[in-house]
Copies of this chain bind each other. A is one copy, B any other.
Amino acid sequence: MFQTRLLDIQKAVQSALDIAVARQPEGPLRAPMHYALQGGKRLRAFLVLESAALYDLPQAQAMPAASAVEALHAFSLVHDDLPCMDDDDLRRGQPTIHVKWDDATAVLAGDALQTLAFELCCDPVLGPPERRIALVEALAKASGAAGMCHGQALDIAAESATTPLSLEQIIDLQAGKTGALISFSARSGAILAGADQSALRAYAEALGLAFQIVDDILDVTGDEAATGKRVGKDADAGKATFVSLLGLDGAQARAAELIETAQDALSGYGARAQNLRDAAQFVISRKT
């Protein structure tokens, strides 16, 4: 059920993103934007659409929000991969944008993908203006100096720090770098419905942290061919990670605990939240 649903969502979101890029005017940024939006697990889009389903919002209505979150995620990857940042030449098994094009194109395509994310949140199909502006505001909080960009800046700073980060600092870093956007995704159904976000916020907070712990585990145990990105980078760089701080077993135990917390947070939604519970299970068992 979960895998089928995820596959369906991957196809539907890819199609929505391809249409959104095709609507952009012809020019040097359309091809790299399109390229940056291919593939990926689409976990964030899944969270958007499943949280919308909790409030009986049809997939077609929530799709621009799902596309927006994937566009924002793609923007962050394109910039994070830049030589002046994480300097990655491989992403989802393919050359990164600055390798396939050049640095300037990667900066500008990333910039335009961030813009696209906000533009998508304006789509009237999402609902009345007050819901759309609430979505824009939540997305802005997830993206900028209070969210993703903040987390990435902390991550870059950590690389040149003389002492490795503490567990508390790593949790703070990840809350920005990956947690903020996962939280936005899981809350977006409640935002679009004008409903209380606290249960979905608690779910997302635990899920986001588990997600990052699993990322750190995969950086140690993962397979380059399966993950589609270079592995062992963090250990090579001497960076503090959840694995270096908690040990491999400790990190796995912590992730498992968090997944349980995430699933428990959804109890008020009953059976209709089963796909979101399964998503939490997926996060801890994923190999890529």
When the two chains form their complex, are residues B146 and A118 in contact, meaning their CB atoms are under 8 A apart?
Answer: no
CB-CB nearest in chain B for A140: B119
* Contacting residue for A85 out of B104, B128, B145, CB 8 A: B104
The size of the chain A interface, using a CB distance under 8 A, is 50
Q: Is the interface of A mostly helix, strand, loop or mixed?
A: helix
When the two chains form their complex, are residues A122 and B146 in contact, meaning their CB atoms are under 8 A apart?
Answer: no
> Is A154 positioned at the interface, with any CB of B under 8 Å from its CB?
yes
When the two chains form their complex, are residues A108 and B146 in contact, meaning their CB atoms are under 8 A apart?
Answer: no
When the two chains form their complex, are residues B118 and A118 in contact, meaning their CB atoms are under 8 A apart?
Answer: yes
When the two chains form their complex, are residues A84 and B111 in contact, meaning their CB atoms are under 8 A apart?
Answer: no
> Is A144 positioned at the interface, with any CB of B under 8 Å from its CB?
yes
**Could you say how many copies of this chain the assembly holds?**
2
State which residues 105-147 of A face B: CB under 8 Å. Answer: 105, 107-108, 110-112, 114-116, 118-119, 121-122, 128-130, 132-133, 136-137, 139-141, 143-147
When the two chains form their complex, are residues B112 and A84 in contact, meaning their CB atoms are under 8 A apart?
Answer: no
State which residues 143-174 of A face B: CB under 8 Å. Answer: 143-147, 149-150, 152-154, 156-157
In the complex, chain B residues whose CB is within 8 Å of the CB of A29? 145, 149-150, 153
In the complex, chain B residues whose CB is within 8 Å of the CB of A157? 28
* Contacting residue for A144 out of B119, B136, B141, B143, CB 8 A: B119
> Is A272 positioned at the interface, with any CB of B under 8 Å from its CB?
no
In the complex, chain B residues whose CB is within 8 Å of the CB of A268? none
* Contacting residue for A25 out of B103, B143, B145, CB 8 A: B145
CA distance A103 to B156 in the complex (A): 11
CB-CB nearest in chain B for A126: B133
When the two chains form their complex, are residues A111 and B112 in contact, meaning their CB atoms are under 8 A apart?
Answer: no
State which residues 64-104 of A face B: CB under 8 Å. Answer: 75, 79, 82, 84-85, 102-104
- Among all A-B residue pairs, the 7 with the closest Cβ atoms: A115-B144, A84-B103, A119-B140, A129-B129, A129-B130, A122-B137, A112-B145
**Can you show 24 pairs from A to B with CB atoms below 8 A apart?**
A24-B144, A24-B145, A27-B150, A27-B153, A28-B150, A28-B156, A29-B150, A33-B145, A79-B111, A82-B104, A84-B104, A85-B107, A107-B107, A108-B156, A111-B149, A112-B144, A114-B115, A114-B144, A115-B149, A116-B140, A118-B136, A118-B140, A119-B140, A119-B144
Residues of A whose CB lies within 8 Å of any CB of B are: 24-25, 27-30, 33, 75, 79, 82, 84-85, 102-105, 107-108, 110-112, 114-116, 118-119, 121-122, 128-130, 132-133, 136-137, 139-141, 143-147, 149-150, 152-154, 156-157
